[in-house]
Amino acid sequence: MDCNCVSDLLIPPVPALWTPGQLTRFAFPDWAYKPESSPGSRQIQLWHFILELLQKEEYHGVIAWQGDYGEFVIKDPDEVARLWGIRKCKPHMNYDKLSRALRYYYNKRILHKTKGKRFTYKFNFSKVVLVNYPILDMANSPFFLAQNHFNGGSTTPDCSPEAIQSLFPRLPDSGRGTSLFDRGTTAPGPEGDKLRLDAFPFLSSGAPCYSKPPSLLGPYPRNPPFDYPWGFNPYLPGAFSLNNCPKLPPGSLYPSQFYPNPLQSSLSQLPHPFSSLLPPGEAGGGERGAAGQTGGTNGTAGGQPVRLCLPPYPGSLSIGRTDIGAALGERVEANTPGTGVGLTLGAVGLGAGTVTGQQSPTERRGGGVKQDPESDSDLEITDLSDCSSDNENEHEFGIRKESSLASRSQILLDGKKGSVLPPISALPPPVSPHPLKSLIPLTPPPPSLPPSLSPAVALHDRHRETETLKMIHS
DNA sequence: TTCGGAACTC
DNA sequence: GAGTTCCGAA
């Protein structure tokens, strides 16, 4: 009898950038989570499954990103094995077998073990990328070589513009798409496939630019991995924001990415491919969006020069702010002259991990609450009653939905635990202060935009007023 | 706890 | 090919 337990399991792709409701610590390209990237969900590969779990907030108590970029820890090996067994209709799956399957990836260089850390593995995303999109020779890119543990990744990552550029042999010049490459309508063939930078949000993980990427979760330090001059802290909101990096409004505890509308409006200002981060129909949304689509003059309001606000990457990033910014700017400007781009923080995860005291898997086993029906991020674990053959213990497999909503409510609503949202100082650092992560124009928006629509604009105006007053006083 | 060989299934 | 299962070794 065929196993139908997961035959209908189709996990929708998730956006490359996370909304506040999708609190996660890393943003990986959506294809990395797509079950269709493997030959059918029924034959989902383990590493895809791992990514799925890692993606889902409700499983952060079971498996979660931790430590270096791409590194994850299996907090509950038995639970992960159980979920994997459910997925594969292998009721007798256990961690020993699961780990054997993970070890199977060692030789394939998709995973490797983090020595000295229990149940901790690390994705080799350069390999993963190659598996999915071999056209990107990332394995040979200095950008990724430095991250690659299999070629002596302890070397300082090469974050030079050339290294970064080596990842993107072709940059799009117009239009937007929904996949890794925009399929050029006028230029079929290799030149018609336009790489979407936004399909690689993980490039912004910071890992390639960090000798030691920021640690993320509970027991790990949350300070920036290195010191920044002038007290710059990339993990604070607005650290990369516009106009000499003014802070976000007081209520904005998180970078703009966590606010859908600001995100959209910000992205919509950007030239392609950054504007393509927005869903179709939204990229041009707002009064400032259209210019980005047309490669127009957005980002240069008032004729101000292009300015970039980049963190000074240490180590190999001797190029510092302006250099890499110029490199990026040049690339962007090649397509959209005069477009200013700035860099903002990567996604900050609020995850329900060790910080929030979420339910243990055992506790959640009794719950079975289907949470957030609107979310597309639920892992569809279905009954194994249809599982075939050796499922003599199939009664052990039930539908167990994790009630992450409850834990999320605790995070967000329980005043004792979080007071709506934890203070920014209590937040884990965002993972990716990398320039490619999210780019926001640094120049002020056109005056047509009511300040009420943009707290950042209001701040900017306030800042200008302050500057004016200072000038008057001086 | 981690590893890898070997046989095996699908 | 991609695991799964079993097992002994470190």
Arithmetic mean of pLDDT, A445-465: 48
- Look at phi and psi of residue A119 and say left if phi exceeds 0, alpha if psi is from -120 to 50, else beta: left
* CB proximity A387–strand C (7 Å threshold): no
Q: Which of A43-57, A79-93, A147-161 has the lowest mean pLDDT?
A: A147-161
Is pLDDT at A51 greater than 50 in this prediction? Answer: yes
Please, which pLDDT band fits residue A97 given cuts at 50, 70 and 90?
Answer: very high
Report whether A295 contacts A271 (CB < 8 A): yes
Using the structure, give the distance in angstroms from the CA atom of A104 to the C1' atom of B9, rounded to a whole number: 16
Q: Which residue is nearest to nucleotide C2 (CA to C1')?
A: A45
Is pLDDT at A361 greater than 90 in this prediction? Answer: no
Arithmetic mean of pLDDT, A303-330: 34
Burial class (CB in 10 A: 0-12, 13-18, 19+), A449: middle
Q: What are phi and psi of A63, to 5 degrees?
A: -150, 140
Using the structure, give the distance in angstroms from the CA atom of A117 to the C1' atom of B1, rounded to a whole number: 10
Report whether A235 contacts A224 (CB < 8 A): yes
**pLDDT confidence of residue A28:** 53
Q: Which residue is nearest to nucleotide B1 (CA to C1')?
A: A118
Query: What CA–CA distance (Å, rounded) separates A351 from A64?
Result: 9
Using the structure, give the distance in angstroms from the CA atom of A127 to the C1' atom of B3, rounded to a whole number: 22
In chain A the first and final C-alpha atoms are separated, in Å, by 84
* CB proximity A98–strand C (7 Å threshold): yes
* CB proximity A381–strand C (7 Å threshold): no
Q: Which of A141-155, A212-226, A348-362 has the lowest mean pLDDT?
A: A212-226
What pLDDT, in 10s, does the model give residues A398-443?
444 333 333 333 333 333 333 333 333 333 333 333 333 333 333 3
**pLDDT confidence of residue A466:** 67
Using the structure, give the distance in angstroms from the CA atom of A296 to the C1' atom of C10, rounded to a whole number: 63
Is pLDDT at A148 greater than 80 in this prediction? Answer: no
Report which of A83, A93, A89 is spatially closest to residue A400, judged by C-alpha positions: A83
Arithmetic mean of pLDDT, A338-353: 34
Is pLDDT at A347 greater than 60 in this prediction? Answer: no
* CB proximity A132–strand C (7 Å threshold): no
Nucleotide showing the shortest C1' distance to residue A131 CA: C1
Residue appearing with tokens 């802070």:
A247
Using the structure, give the distance in angstroms from the CA atom of A53 to the C1' atom of C4, rounded to a whole number: 21
Is pLDDT at A59 greater than 60 in this prediction? Answer: yes
Q: How many CB atoms lie within 10 A of CB A285?
A: 16
Q: Which residue is nearest to nucleotide C5 (CA to C1')?
A: A97
**pLDDT confidence of residue A103:** 93
Using the structure, give the distance in angstroms from the CA atom of A24 to the C1' atom of C8, rounded to a whole number: 40
Using the structure, give the distance in angstroms from the CA atom of A111 to the C1' atom of B2, rounded to a whole number: 14
Bases of strand B lying below 7 A from some protein CB: 1-6, 10
Query: What CA–CA distance (Å, rounded) separates A238 from A253?
Result: 10
Q: Which of A185-189, A379-383, A458-462, A464-468 has the highest mean pLDDT?
A: A464-468
The domains found in chain A, sorted by start residue, are 42-131 (1.10.10.10)
Arithmetic mean of pLDDT, A24-29: 47
Q: Which residues lie across from A122 on neighbouring strands?
A: A71, A112
Using the structure, give the distance in angstroms from the CA atom of A28 to the C1' atom of B1, rounded to a whole number: 29
Both structure tokens of A306:
């292009």
**pLDDT confidence of residue A131:** 56
Report whether A290 contacts A310 (CB < 8 A): no
Nucleotide showing the shortest C1' distance to residue A85 CA: C4
* CB proximity A47–strand C (7 Å threshold): yes
Query: What CA–CA distance (Å, rounded) separates A254 from A438?
Result: 14
Percent with pLDDT over 90 in chain A: 9
- Look at phi and psi of residue A379 and say left if phi exceeds 0, alpha if psi is from -120 to 50, else beta: beta
Using the structure, give the distance in angstroms from the CA atom of A98 to the C1' atom of B2, rounded to a whole number: 13
Q: How many CB atoms lie within 10 A of CB A249?
A: 15
Using the structure, give the distance in angstroms from the CA atom of A104 to the C1' atom of C7, rounded to a whole number: 16
Bases of strand C lying below 7 A from some protein CB: 2-7
Query: What CA–CA distance (Å, rounded) separates A131 from A147?
Result: 16
Report whether A134 contacts A127 (CB < 8 A): no
Nucleotide showing the shortest C1' distance to residue A114 CA: B2
Residue type, A45: Q
Report whether A455 contacts A266 (CB < 8 A): no
What pLDDT, in 10s, does the model give residues A279-299?
333 333 333 333 333 333 333
Report which of A353, A384, A323, A244 is spatially closest to residue A26, judged by C-alpha positions: A353
Arithmetic mean of pLDDT, A331-351: 35
Arithmetic mean of pLDDT, A60-69: 88
| Average confidence score pLDDT of chain A | 47
Please, which pLDDT band fits residue A55 given cuts at 50, 70 and 90?
Answer: confident
Nucleotide showing the shortest C1' distance to residue A99 CA: B2
Protein-nucleic contacts, chain A 348-367 to strand C, CB < 7 Å: none
In sequence order, what DSSP letters do the residues of A78-94 get, joined into one string? HHHHHHHHHHHT-TT--
Query: What CA–CA distance (Å, rounded) separates A284 from A267?
Result: 9
**In this complex, which protein residues place their C-beta within 7 A of any atom belonging to strand B?**
A 96, 99-100, 103, 106, 113, 115, 117-120, 389
Distance of CA A196 to the CA centre of its chain: 15
Is pLDDT at A87 greater than 70 in this prediction? Answer: yes
Using the structure, give the distance in angstroms from the CA atom of A124 to the C1' atom of B6, rounded to a whole number: 27
Is pLDDT at A75 greater than 80 in this prediction? Answer: yes
Query: What CA–CA distance (Å, rounded) separates A364 from A354?
Result: 15
Query: What CA–CA distance (Å, rounded) separates A160 from A7?
Result: 45
Q: How many CB atoms lie within 10 A of CB A374?
A: 8
Is pLDDT at A32 greater than 80 in this prediction? Answer: no
What pLDDT, in 10s, does the model give residues A241-281?
333 333 333 333 233 332 333 333 333 333 333 333 333 33
Using the structure, give the distance in angstroms from the CA atom of A111 to the C1' atom of C9, rounded to a whole number: 23
Please, which pLDDT band fits residue A64 given cuts at 50, 70 and 90?
Answer: very high
Both structure tokens of A57:
């907030």
